[in-house]
Structure 1
Amino acid sequence: MFELFGFCVRTLPYFAYLCPEVRPRGSNCGRLSYTEAARRQASSSGKDGQEPALTTRSAGKRGTPLSHEKPHHKQSTPNPNEKRMTENILSETVWMPLQTIYNKELLVGEYLREKHIEYYIPMSYELHEAHGDPEQGRRTLVPAIHNLLFIRCRYDEEWCRRFVRESPHPVYFLKRERAGNGFCTVGEAEMQNFIRATNPDIEGTRFVNPEKLKGKKGTPVRIVKPGPLYGVTGTFVRYGGKHYIAIQMPQSTTLIKVSYTWCELIE
């Protein structure tokens, strides 16, 4: 009997290793190896429907998960030059001739000022008699072209139609073609040339209907005489027995009285 008891004592550790349920607490003989623990953890996580995380030790980083997701491709960033070009196109502004009726161009100008919209009305000086002294007069700036002004804005046909509806004064935009839907526009360089030519301090400037110059021959020239008109371009024409430089705009033509010696030909 004592021999049987001694046999049981000697075989108890091996029996505990084979049957984990009866391992004594604190016993080192029943601990799982690292490989066995990893295998059991992987199998238990797989039961929950989740894919077990893989680990690698070859790279020297123990326990680093290897992702099963597809590599994320970095989205191509747009060319900064193309982006800048697109922004310039969207932010580009043009000048548009705006017409009114009943000589309300100054009232329309006040409305545009309230809306913070840049505009231009060609002006000229007129001599008015002073009250009580007919021999003395005063110079007053008045619109040189009635019922016509120019506004600077982005070209948007829908915005133009909404502006016409909301304006407290009767206005309308000039069309490129009588039967078309597009509105007439004026480029920045052309408009600046017109603004310099219509400087009210320049004497002798006239504004005529473009139909009056229809069929007249002219020569493209540029003013080269130093002064406020230096660099202004136009067409050298003869009108009413005098020579002028004509700057043609929608609904109006500006005539600057200059000498041909001030000009050079534009090839």
Structure 2
Amino acid sequence: MSKLEGKVWYAMRATYRRELDAKKLLEEQSIQAFVPMRYELRIKGKHKKREIVPVIHNLIFVYAYPSEIQSVKKTIPYLQYMMDFREGNKIIVPEEQMRRFIAVTGTYDEQLMFFKPEELNLSKGTKVRVRGGDFEGQEGIFLKVKGARDKRVVIAIQGVIAVALATISPDLIEVISE
């Protein structure tokens, strides 16, 4: 494995809701993997139970060297690359963008809202940075999202997923000029 090739975040699919199995197998091989999770209230019989479940089934992010991911795919056949069909390339997420996404979604905050990329028009929003509170330092697009009364800061991974943060007071938001 050449260390000249850098580690990158691959957006991948684990078919048939096997994202947690894939994550476990990858971690057993010392490969970092991330599955966005959230709490969900499940009713079983007369009992309500709060469980942590994947936000989007089949979605997994894998941080690995290109050669490492190639060999892993031979042992985990249901792990597939997500492709950007406009360019025909594998979807690779920039490390800074992934770091922000993990910092936000790793909180399991119940007020987070998740969207498919086509559900939001990010070009209508304003680029902002959060200056205080739980999400201090996060950058995203400030816009109105379906299902929320007010505007929210959205952090998106192009072509894969977008997350709208909990409501943030406007005085904690700073506009970033391009």
**Equivalent position to 1:126, from 37, 40, 60:** 40
Which protein is bigger by CA-based radius of gyration? 1
- Which is further off, 105-114 or 91-100? 91-100
Q: Output the CA distance in 2 between the equivalents of 1:165 and 1:98.
A: 14
Q: Output the CA distance in 2 between the equivalents of 1:124 and 1:215.
A: 23
**Equivalent position to 2:104, from 197, 200, 205:** 197
TM-score normalised by the chain length of structure 2? 0.83
| Alpha-carbon shift at residue 91 of structure 1 (Å) | 6.2
Q: Which residue of 2 aligns with 1:266?
A: 176
| Alpha-carbon shift at residue 119 of structure 1 (Å) | 0.5
Kindly indicate whether residue 142 of structure 2 is the aligned counterpart of residue 233 of structure 1. no
- Show CA shifts across 1:143-188 (max 9, x none): 11211111111234xx544433331x512112344563x4221222
Kindly indicate whether residue 163 of structure 2 is the aligned counterpart of residue 254 of structure 1. yes
Q: Output the CA distance in 1 between the equivalents of 2:93 and 2:122.
A: 23
Q: Check conservation: 1:120, 1:149, Cα contact below 8 A.
A: yes
Return 5+ residue gaps in structure 2 as ranges: none
| Alpha-carbon shift at residue 235 of structure 1 (Å) | 0.2
Amino acid of the structure 1 residue aligned with 2:156: Q
Q: Output the CA distance in 2 between the equivalents of 1:222 and 1:179.
A: 30
| Alpha-carbon shift at residue 203 of structure 1 (Å) | 2.7
Q: Check conservation: 1:94, 1:154, Cα contact below 8 A.
A: yes
Q: Which residue of 2 aligns with 1:107?
A: 21
Looking at secondary structure, tell me which structure has more helix per residue.
1
| Alpha-carbon shift at residue 208 of structure 1 (Å) | 0.9
- Show CA shifts across 1:31-65 (max 9, x none): xxxxxxxxxxxxxxxxxxxxxxxxxxxxxxxxxxx
Q: Which residue of 2 aligns with 1:166?
A: 75
**Equivalent position to 1:154, from 42, 46, 65:** 65
User: Superposed, which structure 2 residues align to 1:1-267 within 5 Å?
Assistant: 90=4, 92-129=6-43, 132=46, 134=47, 137-156=48-67, 159-167=68-76, 169-178=77-86, 180=88, 182-214=89-121, 217-227=124-134, 229-240=135-146, 241-249=149-157, 250-259=159-168, 260-267=170-177
Q: Check conservation: 2:150, 2:167, Cα contact below 8 A.
A: no
Amino acid of the structure 2 residue aligned with 1:224: R
Higher relative contact order (CA 8 A, sep 6+): 2
Q: 1:215 to 1:192 in 2, by over 3 A?
A: closer
Q: Check conservation: 1:160, 1:173, Cα contact below 8 A.
A: no
Q: 1:130 to 1:99 in 2, by over 3 A?
A: closer
Return 5+ residue gaps in structure 1 as ranges: 1-86
Looking at secondary structure, tell me which structure has more strand per residue.
2
Q: Output the CA distance in 1 between the equivalents of 2:153 and 2:78.
A: 33
Q: 1:130 to 1:172 in 2, by over 3 A?
A: closer
Amino acid of the structure 1 residue aligned with 2:137: G
Q: Check conservation: 1:119, 1:150, Cα contact below 8 A.
A: yes
